[in-house]
Amino acid sequence: MCLAKTIFMKIAIPHWQGRVSPVFDVSDGLLVIDIKDGRQVRRESIILCRSDPFARAKEVADLGAEVLLCGAVSHVLERALMGAGVEVFSFICGDLEAVLDAFLRGQLDDDRFLMPGSCAKWRRAKN
């Protein structure tokens, strides 16, 4: 995703104790951040209610999220999110603020944000 061409977007990040939640499928806290011209303009913390993968994907999409930055996610939920129009960057770990900042700067592919033992598909496509 090229942020230079983006005027407005919503990013969703599941979180737990100030970090990206390790498994999105069971995470209930979601931070939704409005970005305008590459800068944060609004934040809202949401509690997710749905656990069914398709209902959860709809819940995230209904919030207007265009991008989800998350830790591990089941294949079914990832596909449901993509089908709902949400671009998924999975197997991300780290401090919530550092991850968000790296994404906004186009540096999320730094190895320090990759969950140990994973090889995120979206990263392989870039290399």
Read off the pLDDT of residues 58-110 as tens digits, 9 standing for 90 and up. Answer: 999 999 999 999 999 999 999 999 999 999 999 999 999 999 999 999 999 88
First and final C-alpha spacing in the chain: 15
Distance separating alpha carbons of residues 85 and 93, to the nearest angstrom: 23
Would you tell me how many other CB atoms lie within 10 Å of the CB of residue 1?
Answer: 14
| Beta-bridge partner residues of 92 | 114
pTM of the complete model: 0.88
